[in-house]
Amino acid sequence: MFFYNFIDTVKNICNKTLTFKFKRKRILLSEKNKNSKTIGYARATNNEYDYLEEQIKFLKEEGCILVFSELISLDEEIKPQLNKAINCLSKGDQLIITQLDRAFKNKKECLRTINKLINKDIKFRTLTGFATANALTKANSSIFQILYELDNLEEKSLGERKKEQLLRRKLSGNNLGGRPKISPLKESLVIRLRNEGYSYRSIRSQTGIALSTIRRVILEGELT
């Protein structure tokens, strides 16, 4: 019984931390006499090993000479193998993923990475049809930059409107409503974690406090 429990424990650890890297043994004919290279990235969550293998298979068939892959949650702030894949790329190279949600948890993260690749003259595409132009012009680059800035504007505007609403309700003496207040100790913990750079989701996982309460505590803290 101890032996089987030990094996299960090892499997659980491996499923949370396991990463894979495929490298083609022989260069495809299409890759010969080319200075550029095609790199792939695949990601799956927890025990989705079969799904990870399926992505790797598709990327290999697409001509990737190297595929970085990992079993990791989409919500993780840092994806080590994705960073390695991007760092392997240089001018003229191409990064391929099966679909956008394999690498990016939201629009902002996606636009930020695409801008980074564009600035390095690196192509990017998914197997579902999304792609940056083969020959990126200044106009193409500007479009992605504008989208990125507009997303920033939307986020900042929303934050400012929430602050103004809270301030008006405080000045008028109205009840702010929402969930019951948490203890001052937990409030200070939330603010400290946010100041240290932790995301809302990371703070929730560490404290068990609802996201709506975390947002309220942080906004109220900025007003005082």
Model pLDDT, residue 156: 64
CATH number at residue 82: 3.40.50.1390
Could you identify the residue written with the tokens 């025990």? 47
What is the domain extent for residue 186? 177-224
**183 and 132 assigned to the same domain:** no
**13 and 113 assigned to the same domain:** yes
Alpha-carbon distance of 52 to 202, in angstroms, equals 25
**H/E segment holding residue 52:** helix 49-61
Q: How many domains does the chain have?
A: 2
Model pLDDT, residue 55: 96
In a domain, 156, yes or no: no
* Ranges assigned E (strand) in 13-142: 19-23, 38-44, 66-71, 94-97, 123-126
Model pLDDT, residue 58: 96
Q: 204: exposed, middle or buried (C-beta count within 10 Å: 0-12, 13-18, 19+)?
A: middle
Contact between 126 and 99 (Cβ < 8 Å): yes
Model pLDDT, residue 7: 43
In the predicted model, what is the mean pLDDT of the chain? 77
Contact between 91 and 121 (Cβ < 8 Å): yes
Could you tell me the two tokens for 153? 């504007």
Model pLDDT, residue 46: 80
Model pLDDT, residue 23: 56
Give the residue among 82, 70, 56 at the shortest CA–CA distance from 20: 70
Model pLDDT, residue 197: 84
Q: Is the dihedral of CA 197, 202, 207, 209 positive or negative?
A: positive
Model pLDDT, residue 63: 94
Model pLDDT, residue 93: 95
Residues of the chain with pLDDT under 70: 1-34, 133-158, 160, 172-181, 222-224
**125 and 181 assigned to the same domain:** no
Alpha-carbon distance of 188 to 105, in angstroms, equals 28
**38 and 101 assigned to the same domain:** yes
